[in-house]
Structure 1
Amino acid sequence: MLLVAKEPCGHGIDGLNFHHLVEKYYGPSATTSQSHSGIINFLLANGVVGTLLLVIFLGSLVRLGWLGFYRRDSLPGFFLTMLVLGFFFRGMWDDIWRDSMLEEFAFLTMFLFCWCRGIHV
């Protein structure tokens, strides 16, 4: 978290931002190639504000899915809630918030979002 305090606005989107920041502030090190945590990498890349916006967005998707399931017995709402919660909590200890994993999450999330809202594409 010291790296976040030193770069609160983020370092920019890069697959090795953790490694670059460790080398920048602590010198060359062969053992710190990545943090292995999606939320830490996202925080270092996008800063505190970007991460808060992501958490708010994911929270609104969880709320939408849960209300769709609870009020309208919408099974896609339940799937949306579980998908977002699973992706968020797995991202805390595994770096899945990038590349094709993020693209697949975005596709499934928007598909379920449209299904919950009754939007026919």
Structure 2
Amino acid sequence: INYNKLDHKLAAQLGIGIIYQELSVIDELTVLENLYIGRHLTKKICGVNIIDWREMRVRAAMMLLRVGLKVDLDEKVANLSISHKQMLEIAKTLMLDAKVIIMDEPTSSLTNKEVDYLFLIMNQLRK
């Protein structure tokens, strides 16, 4: 594997999640929508695939708990603080089954208190 040419698709296949300094959450969407962009869970009913919103909400709520993010799934991301958006990015990455997360300048726009919280969550996720 040529790690110098590691793209998102290959990284995901290898269990590597990448979070850039410029966050990729979309302010106009809800927390739930951001967690599942481009990869809705579906179930078959009468042979037809439909989006399984209930299962998506359950999994999303569990992931938010895991990263310590206490926000409503239906909240618009525009209403979240920078630190909450950072936690949402981490949750998105973990939902892709990332085993390793590479973060570019994760503390650059956070207050000292938010930095402490980010490192607390990161240490808890290591375990």
Instruction: Report TM bin, short chain.
Output: under 0.3
Higher relative contact order (CA 8 A, sep 6+): 2
More strand by share: 2
Point out the structure with max Rg over C-alpha. Answer: 1
More helix by share: 1
Normalised to the residue count of structure 1, the TM-score between the two structures is: 0.25
